């Protein structure tokens, strides 16, 4: 038996804000999106390099408030890219401590080569 990759499922309450955050701000790619009908909740997959996330508006898929730890190389460069956007993501604050940048509930960790 062998376990595969983990794909976190994160709750979204607003499609426009979720796409703005993951696609425009964090620069993830939209891999696919699914709705059972046009007026039903969105379920989508976003990715950046080897990181894959599922974002859902379905209330039964997961609970709000999850925290993730994602390993990232060249963290300082990515952090500077985000800060340089001058986008106010609902009061999003950046905090650096011991090689970790905390962005909202998304934790990005430095991997040393």
Domain locations along the chain: 9-111
Per-residue pLDDT reduced to its tens digit, 20-70: 889 998 999 999 999 999 999 999 999 999 999 999 999 999 988 887 878
**If you average pLDDT over residues 81-104, what whole number do you get?**
62
pLDDT (0 to 100) of residue 92: 54
Residue 75 vs residue 62, higher pLDDT: 62
Helix (H, G, I), strand (E, B) or coil at 92: coil
Q: What are phi and psi of 76, to 5 degrees?
A: -60, -40
Alpha-carbon distance of 54 to 11, in angstroms, equals 9
Cβ(35)–Cβ(99) below 8 Å: no
- Degrees to nearest 5, angle at CA 33 with 28 and 35: 150
Q: Give 9-111's CATH code, choosing from 3.30.70.890, 3.40.1800.10, 3.40.640.10, 3.10.180.10.
A: 3.10.180.10
State the average pLDDT for the chain: 81
Burial 4-18 (b: 16+ CB within 10 A, else e): eeeeeebbbeeeeeb
Least reliable range by pLDDT among 10-19, 47-56, 83-92: 83-92
Of 91 and 70, the structure prediction assigns the larger pLDDT to: 70
pLDDT band for position 100 (50/70/90)?
low
Of residues 106 and 23, the one with the higher pLDDT is 23
Name residue, tokens 């059972």: 36
């Amino acid at each position: 038996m062998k376990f595969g990759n983990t794909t976190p499922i994160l709750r979204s309450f607003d499609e426009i804000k979720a796409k703005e955050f993951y696609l425009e701000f964090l620069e993830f790619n939209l891999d696919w999106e699914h709705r059972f009908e046009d007026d039903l909740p969105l379920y989508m997959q976003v990715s950046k390099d080897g990181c894959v996330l599922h974002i859902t508006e379905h209330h039964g898929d997961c609970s709000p408030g999850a925290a993730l730890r994602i390993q990232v190389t060249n963290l300082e460069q990515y952090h500077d890219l985000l800060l340089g956007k001058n986008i106010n993501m609902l009061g999003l604050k950046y905090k650096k401590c011991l090689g970790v940048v905390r962005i909202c509930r998304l934790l990005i960790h430095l991997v040393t080569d």
